[in-house]
Amino acid sequence: MTRKLFGTDGVRGHANVHPMTAETVLRLGAAAGRYFRRDGSVAHRVVIGKDTRLSGYMFENALTAGFTSTGMNVLLLGPVPTPAVGLLVRSMRADVGVMISASHNPHEDNGIKFFGPDGFKLSDDAEAEIEAIMGGEIAPSVAANIGRAKRIDDGLFRYVERIKSTFPADLTLDGLKVVVDCANGAGYRAAPQVLWELGAEVIPVGVAPDGTNINDGCGSTNTGLAVETVVANNADVGICLDGDADRVMIIDENGQVADGDQIMGLFAARWANDGRLAGNTLVATVMSNLGLERYLDGKGVSLTRTSVGDRYVVEAMRQGGFNLGGEQSGHIVMTDYATTGDGLLAGLQFLAEMKRTLKPASDLRQAFEPVPQLLKNVRYDASSQPLETTQVKSAIADAESQLEGTGRLLIRKSGTEPLIRVMAECEDETLLHKVVDAIVAEVENAA
């Protein structure tokens, strides 16, 4: 079964433009409700969270109407981090969880992510089945079985307590000055509260969401504000989250940024040394730096690569019995604690390492020397196929020939935006820029 509506991380697009319209999302909720009520029984429940986008109100109501029309009872969490949905769908014994968010995208976009009753994101096959149901007649419930909706006021509190419990019981954050950038997104309340309750002096930024400023000049994809704040306040460390708080970037006291690869390298080495890295393996995607792979090899740790998308990382982790994985973009997945990437959780683990070793963030920020890597994005018309043109194929083949034995090339379509991502790694930076620019030029011409 194929998927057209779902991408690498649920359904995503421009708000009020297909597929992210109220009508489509209502139908999506009804199809998901019918999928999870296939046994025909009653008393099924769905947990719905959202980030701080203005369009979240519209989609929350549309999903509620869709789910209740098929007999599902809806539990509304309001603005919470994505990992809170993965946590609460299990603790509340729900059949499905939904997060309304477009993650790191601008406020004009929004998306729908589904979690199964085990707290993990749905498989490709499950999403394909829901999409197939949308294509046919969706049987509504009889009037007596229409679902109810209830707002859960303490969902955020439950998440806060769970996250605090992952921090080592013998440590506190006393004496640490921490900048936390919440991207004006879903973590704007939880993150400062957790850090403060654990003893840190907290300097929050990106904590004034207005519906349209999520990820705007802040957060994990725009670290400049946090860097300036860390340096200006002589802070010990900065934690940058994205719009739904499932990604993180770490900033040391000098304003230098650590991406997901560096954070995973630090954690993998520590866990392997402590004998707690399951299978002595880290799971990452094809985007992770070659330097990470070399570093882990030197530590006797294996690296398993997957397709881009934290859901594929998690699938590989579950299949292999591994407990640590993630993406260069900042998704850090620790299945000992959570079912999906959690930026705040990863940030706390970094702070715990600072406290445990008594080392500054600058000593922990760079686990390995990265191989020079260049990534450029080309926006294209979704109806076109620029990667299928003869000129683009020829440019890619030429680049692969030039990089053979010295680097690697990765070309892919984004699963969340109409972008073609052109990435290469090579020790020779002149060659690196040459091959990437050549491909980008041809893709732009074709697009």
Same-domain status, 298 and 234: no
Question: Does 1 map to a domain?
Answer: no
Same-domain status, 233 and 317: no
Same-domain status, 55 and 105: yes
Same-domain status, 65 and 104: yes
Q: Please identify which of the residues 55, 69, 103, 220 carries the catalytic annotation.
A: 103
Same-domain status, 104 and 33: yes
- For residue 400, give the CATH number of its domain: 3.30.310.50
**Cα 39 to Cα 147: distance, rounded to the nearest angstrom:** 16
Question: Does 29 map to a domain?
Answer: yes
Same-domain status, 68 and 197: no
**Cα 286 to Cα 305: distance, rounded to the nearest angstrom:** 6
Last residue of a domain, one of 224, 255, 286: 255
Cα–Cα–Cα angle for 422, 323, 314, rounded to 5 degrees: 45
In sign, the C-alpha dihedral spanning 32, 36, 37, 38 is positive
Question: Does 362 map to a domain?
Answer: no
**Cα 322 to Cα 110: distance, rounded to the nearest angstrom:** 31
Question: Does 2 map to a domain?
Answer: no
Structure tokens at 67: 């789910």
Question: Does 368 map to a domain?
Answer: no
The yes-or-no answer on residue 103 being catalytic is: yes
Last residue of a domain, one of 137, 153, 169: 153
Question: Does 289 map to a domain?
Answer: yes
Amino acid at 60: E
Task: Report yes or no: 206 and 218 within 8 Å, Cβ to Cβ.
Answer: yes
Beta-sheet pairing, 332-334 with 324-326: antiparallel
The residue with tokens 């969270």 is 49
**Cα 377 to Cα 418: distance, rounded to the nearest angstrom:** 10
φ, ψ for residue 205, nearest 5 deg:
-135, 160
For residue 259, the tally of other CB atoms under 10 A from its CB is 22
Residues belonging to the chain: 447
Instruction: Quote the pTM value.
Output: 0.91
Task: Give me the pLDDT at residue 42, please.
Answer: 55
- For residue 279, give the CATH number of its domain: 3.40.120.10
Dump strand ranges (E) for 327-406. Answer: 332-334, 373-379
Task: Report yes or no: 333 and 313 within 8 Å, Cβ to Cβ.
Answer: yes
Q: Where in the sequence is the domain holding 406, given as residue range(s)?
A: 373-446
Q: pLDDT 10s digit of each residue in the chain, 447 long? A: 566 889 878 899 999 999 999 999 999 999 999 999 875 555 699 999 999 999 999 999 999 999 999 999 999 999 999 999 999 999 999 999 999 999 999 999 999 999 999 999 998 899 999 999 999 999 899 999 999 999 999 999 999 999 999 999 999 999 999 999 999 999 999 999 999 999 999 999 999 999 999 999 999 999 999 999 999 999 999 999 999 999 999 999 999 999 999 999 999 999 999 999 999 999 999 999 999 999 999 999 999 999 988 999 999 999 999 999 999 999 999 999 999 999 999 999 999 999 999 999 999 999 999 999 999 999 988 777 888 899 989 999 999 999 888 888 999 888 777 889 999 999 999 999 999 999 999 999 888
Structure tokens at 158: 């439950």
Task: Give me the pLDDT at residue 214, please.
Answer: 98
Same-domain status, 43 and 66: yes
Same-domain status, 232 and 319: no
- The upper half-sphere exposure of residue 353, i.e. CA atoms within 13 Å in the direction of its Cβ, equals 24
Same-domain status, 435 and 399: yes
Beta-sheet pairing, 248-251 with 257-258: antiparallel
Helix-helix angle 155-165:343-357, to 10 degrees: 30
Same-domain status, 326 and 392: no
Question: Does 357 map to a domain?
Answer: no
Last residue of a domain, one of 226, 255, 284: 255
Structure tokens at 112: 């729908």
Task: Report yes or no: 163 and 345 within 8 Å, Cβ to Cβ.
Answer: yes
Same-domain status, 412 and 392: yes
Same-domain status, 110 and 142: yes
Question: Does 301 map to a domain?
Answer: yes
Number of structural domains in the chain: 4
Task: Report yes or no: 167 and 198 within 8 Å, Cβ to Cβ.
Answer: yes
